[in-house]
Each structure stands twice: as C-alpha cells, then as structure tokens.
C-alpha cells in the first residue's frame, strides 16, 4: 500500500472509531463518524453522531471546524444524507464547505439516501471515493443495515448452559448455571441492545429484571411475548420506574381477561399469531436496530425458525446437570440430515473466570 493510501486508511479508521462512540445510543439511526482535513492534509475537525435528533457526524464536524475547509478532504464511514429528517441534509453542508474530495466507506441502505447523496456530491464537482474500510464499516452498522433491508430488528440469542449442554433442571430451576462474573457481563452486554425479549414462561419461572442495572439510561425496552397472557400480577418487569416493558400477545390464543393483572404503566400490544417475526417487525418499527433474545428453549427455537436470530452468545459453565429431562437450549428442529443442521461461524471465544463465552454468527 502506498504512503498516501495508508494515510487515507488511517483517517477512515479514525472516522470509524468516532462512529463507534455512538454504538449504544444512535438507534434508530446508524453509527457515523466524520473527519475533516485542510488542503495540506492537517486534521481540522472531527465529529460523530450520538443520538437521534442530535447533529449528524458531518454537521458536528463542521460545527467544530477550526479553520477554512476549502480544498480539504473529508472521511466519513457512511454516505452523507440528502433528505430533511430531524436535521437538515449533510450533503448541502459538505458542498458549501468547499471540500475537494470525500472518502465514503459504504452507501446508506436507507432508500431515501442510497446513492443519491453520492450523486449530488459528484454533481457539485466533489471527488467521491467509495469503499475504503468497507468491511469494518459494514460490521459496525450491521444491525442498522439489517433492519433497513429486512424491516426486522437484528437479533442476538443469548443462553447459559452447563458443559453437558443443559440450561436448567427438569423442574425449571436454572439459577445459577454461570458464575457471577459472567452474569455481570450479561448486564453490560445488554447496553448494546434496544430491547430484550423473553417468553411468558421465563417470566413466570425466573421473574427476571432484564436491565443493565442502571448503566444504560434509558434502559433497553423489556419485551414479553405470550400466547396465553397468563402472566403473574406481581413481576419485576412490572416495575416501570426501572425500565419500560411491553407485553405482546397472540390474540388468537390469549385469554384477554388476564390483561387486568398487568399494571397500566406496562404497554400492551396484540398480534395475530405466535410467529416471533411479528416481534422483530414491531420492534424495528419502534426504532430498535438490535435486540437480545434471552428466552428459553421454546421461544428460542421458534425465533431461529422464523429467521429472527443473526448471532448467538453462549455462556458455558464447567458444571454437569445430567438427566434426560434436564432442559436443552432448543427444542426439535426436525432435522433428518446433517446437511440440514444450523451452522455458526466467526466464533470468538473468551474465558470469564472458569466459564467460557462464545459469540458466533449464523451462516447466511
Ligand atoms: N439458561 C438460560 O440461558 C435460560 C434462559 C431463558 C430461560 N431459561 C429457562 O427456560 C425455561 C422457560 O423455557 P421456555 O421455552 O418456556 O421459554 P420462554 O422464554 O418462556 O418461551 C416460551 C413462552 O413464550 C411464549 N411464546 C410466544 N410465542 C411462542 C412461540 N411461537 N413458541 C413458543 N413459545 C412462544 C409462550 O408464553 P405463554 O406460556 O405465556 O403463552 C411460551 O410459553 C425457564 O425454566 C427458564 O428458567 C433458561
């Protein structure tokens, strides 16, 4: 790689780093970072998008300008917007700044923008270079891109199991399989997510809090999916001071008289079937880019079968539960041949004390 290309990569990586600072806060928007150099290649401004409604990365960088940007260069990990949303179009700002060239990592998947922002920049005589650090930029905004293309939230399924692959005893008891460090780590993992989903049975059996314990404000939305609506009148999820909760129920099977047990501060929404895809779609519509499924085997199996899961996080503890009737992480997928089984890839493994944490992706 030439010296010039190394330096272009260096600045784009800086833009990607800045973008990553908004990783837990930008939903429903993407993570974007921007860097501006003057005509001599000196850094004169930087910016990143922190939250919807706040300035976009480019606008923040122009707001931070220390000197004239004309003849300079800009590095941004996502195509600048060209539509009027909550803030004015960034393309106009780039054009009026007198910048000579712009390095854009990836196109915006948003139909209102995709390719149009680039076209407007080119028409204004700005040299556009597309594709620098594409892999890193796709990785950083994979949830945003997935949501825009599929209209479903990017789903991560998390479960904790013993070394013999059990998630609980046959009587439903599962506290605690993993060590305290792993459980604390789960609280911090939750910061990355816009919503956390369980099924009605996990609510009845475990009565979880599903919060980050205050490290993300507001806390991720807590979601209970139920077919029966037979939920208890007392539950930690009903404490609306801690976090918002929504109960989504299948109106074709639920007994709506149970609605009286749910406090008024909890939102309730009905859907027409028990297909978990409906949850992914509702949450995407509400602006969730990335959601964590912390459900038990039955809902987890259905969520995988309806393509709601893109990644997995598995905690494995050096414990043996044994027994044919102890709980498995999944129900039956009815596979008949080995070529039908689910394959995961890109696994990252880490040790959490004596537990093992494995993060993997579903193969496309
Ligand atoms: N070790 C772990 O990582 C872990 C994690 C989570 C849970 N667990 C354990 O798992 C057990 C609960 O397992 P579970 O499988 O019953 O989990 P679940 O998370 O409660 O999911 C099943 C429930 O989801 C609702 N549901 C909605 N749509 C569904 C669909 N299409 N398919 C299946 N269910 C649907 C139903 O609620 P209604 O019954 O209200 O209609 C159903 O009973 C508990 O003992 C809990 O301790 C372990």
Assess whether 189 and 66 both reside in one domain: no
Can you give the CATH number for the domain in which 66 is found? 3.40.140.10
Q: Using CA atoms, how far apart are residues 25 and 31, in angstroms rounded to an integer?
A: 9
Q: List the end-to-end C-alpha distance of the chain, in Å, as a whole number.
A: 32
Q: Which domain holds residue 111?
A: 3-143
Q: Please determine, for residue 60, whether its predicted confidence score (pLDDT) is greater than 90.
A: yes
Q: What share of the chain has pLDDT > 90, as a percent?
A: 90
The catalytic position among 46, 58, 79, 219 is 58
Instruction: Say yes or no: 156 and 91 in one domain.
Output: no
Question: Does one domain contain both 251 and 210?
Answer: yes
Tell me, yes or no, whether 126 and 167 share the same domain: no
Q: Is 58 a catalytic residue?
A: yes
**Residue where a domain terminates, one of 100, 125, 143:** 143
Specify the residue with its C-alpha closest to ligand 1, atom 17.
Answer: 296
CA 237 to centroid of ligand 1, rounded, Å: 15
Q: Ligand 1 centre from 113 Cα, in Å? A: 40
- 158 C-alpha to ligand 1 centroid (Å): 13
pLDDT of residue 142: 97
Ligand 1 atom nearest to CA at 227: 41
The answer to whether residues 165 and 280 belong to one domain is yes
**Whole-number pLDDT of residue 87:** 74
Q: Which atom from ligand 1 is nearest to the alpha carbon of 306?
A: 31
| Torsion of Cα atoms, 26 then 286 then 147 then 120, to 10° | -60
- Span from the CA of 306 to the centroid of ligand 1 (angstroms): 16
Q: What is the pTM of this model?
A: 0.95
Are 154 and 146 in contact by the 8 Å Cβ rule? The answer is: yes
Cα separation of 72 and 61, whole Å? 13
Strands 355-362 and 344-352 turn out to be antiparallel
* Contact by Cβ (8 Å): 107, 130: yes
Domain count, the chain: 2
Computed over every residue of the chain, the mean pLDDT equals 95
User: With 70 as the cut, is the pLDDT of residue 267 above it?
Assistant: yes
Query: By alpha-carbon position, which residue is closest to atom 28 of ligand 1?
Result: 274
Residues 252 and 332 in one domain: yes
Listing from the earlier edge strand, what are the strands of the sheet with 101-106? 43-48, 33-37, 73-78, 101-106, 127-130
User: Which band of pLDDT confidence, cut at 50, 70 and 90, is reported for residue 89?
Assistant: confident
Q: How confident is the model at residue 141 (pLDDT cuts 50, 70, 90)?
A: very high
> Could you tell me if 267 and 244 are in contact, meaning their C-beta atoms sit under 8 angstroms apart?
yes
Q: Give the DSSP per-residue string, 300-342.
A: HHHHHHTT--SEEEEEEES-----TTSBPSS------SGGGS-
Tens of pLDDT, residues 188-205: 999 999 999 999 999 999
CB of residue 200 inside a 6 A radius of ligand 1: yes
How far apart are alpha carbons 345 and 92 in whole angstroms?
41
Query: Which residue, 17, 19, 46, is CA-closest to 30?
Result: 19
Residue 119 and residue 172 share a domain: no
- Mean pLDDT, rounded, for 217-236: 98
The distance from CA 353 to its chain's CA centroid, rounded to whole angstroms, is: 26
Backbone angles phi, psi at 220, to 5 degrees: -60, 150
Asked whether residue 346 falls in the same domain as residue 215, the answer is yes
CATH number assigned to the domain comprising residue 316 = 3.40.430.10
User: Are both 221 and 353 inside the same structural domain?
Assistant: yes
- In this model, does residue 174 exceed pLDDT 90? no
End residue of a domain, out of 108, 143, 178: 143
Ligand 1, atom 40: nearest CA belongs to which residue?
200
Cβ neighbors of 272 (< 8 A, separation 6 or more) are 250, 251, 252, 278
Residue with tokens 């806060």: 25
157 and 97 belong to one structural domain: no
Instruction: Give residue 6's pLDDT.
Output: 67
Please check the confidence at residue 4 and state whether its pLDDT lies above 90.
no
| pLDDT, position 83 | 79
CA distance readout (Å), 226 to 12, 248, 281, 307, 332: 45, 6, 16, 19, 20
Instruction: Measure 242 CA to ligand 1 centroid, in angstroms.
Output: 23
**DSSP assignment letter at 168:** B
Residue 267, phi then psi, degrees to nearest 5: -75, 145
Per-residue pLDDT tens over the stretch 312-336:
999 999 999 999 899 999 999 999 9
Per-residue pLDDT, averaged over 155-175, amounts to 94
Cβ count within 10 A of residue 218: 7
CB atoms within 10 A of CB 299: 26
Q: Is the CB of 330 under 6 A from ligand 1?
A: no
pLDDT of residue 1: 63
206 lines ligand 1 (CB under 6 A): yes
Stretch among 3-17, 255-269, 275-289, 296-310 having the lowest mean pLDDT: 3-17
Going by pLDDT thresholds of 50, 70 and 90, the confidence category of residue 14 is very high
Q: Best substitution site from 182, 198, 199, 277 to test ligand 1's pocket, by max atoms within 8 Å of Cβ?
A: 199
Q: What was the pLDDT predicted at 84?
A: 75
Residues 83 and 192 in one domain: no
- CB count within 10 Å of CB 277 equals 17
Name the residue with higher pLDDT: 257 or 66: 257
Q: Of 291 and 4, which is predicted with more confidence?
A: 291
Q: Which of 121, 143, 165 represents a domain boundary (last residue)?
A: 143
Residues 199, 76 within the same domain:
no
């Amino acid at each position: 790689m030439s010296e010039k290309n190394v330096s272009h990569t260096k600045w784009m990586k800086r833009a990607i780093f800045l973008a990553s600072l908004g990783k837990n806060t930008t939903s429903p928007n993407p993570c974007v970072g921007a860097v501006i150099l003057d005509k001599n290649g000196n850094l004169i401004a930087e910016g990143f998008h922190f939250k919807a409604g706040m300035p976009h990365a480019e606008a923040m960088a122009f707001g931070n300008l220390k000197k004239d940007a004309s003849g300079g260069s800009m590095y941004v990990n996502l195509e600048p917007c060209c539509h009027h949303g909550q803030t004015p179009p960034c393309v106009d700002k780039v054009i009026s700044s007198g910048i000579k060239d712009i390095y854009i990592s990836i196109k915006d998947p948003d139909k209102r923008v995709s390719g149009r922002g680039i076209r407007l920049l080119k028409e204004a005589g700005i040299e556009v270079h597309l594709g620098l650090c594409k892999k890193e930029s796709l990785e950083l905004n994979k949830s945003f891109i997935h949501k825009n293309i599929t209209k479903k939230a990017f789903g991560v399924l998390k479960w904790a199991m013993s070394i013999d692959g059990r998630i609980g005893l046959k009587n439903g008891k599962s506290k605690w399989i993993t060590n305290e460090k792993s459980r604390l780590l789960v609280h911090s993992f939750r910061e990355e997510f816009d919503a956390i989903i369980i099924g009605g049975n996990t609510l009845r059996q475990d009565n979880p809090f599903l919060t980050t314990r205050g490290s993300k404000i507001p806390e991720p939305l807590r979601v209970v999916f139920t077919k029966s609506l037979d939920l208890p009148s007392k539950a930690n999820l009903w404490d609306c001071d801690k976090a918002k909760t929504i109960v989504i129920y299948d109106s074709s099977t639920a007994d709506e008289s149970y609605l009286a047990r749910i406090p008024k501060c909890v939102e309730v929404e009905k859907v027409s079937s028990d297909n978990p895809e409906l949850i992914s779609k509702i949450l995407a519509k509400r602006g969730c880019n990335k959601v964590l499924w912390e459900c038990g085997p039955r809902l987890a199996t259905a969520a995988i079968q309806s393509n709601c899961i893109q990644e997995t996080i598995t905690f494995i503890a050096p414990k043996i539960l044994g027994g044919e009737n102890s709980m498995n992480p999944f129900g039956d997928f009815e596979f008949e041949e080995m070529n039908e089984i689910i394959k995961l890839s890109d696994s990252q493994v880490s040790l959490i004390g004596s537990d093992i944490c494995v993060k993997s992706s579903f193969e496309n």
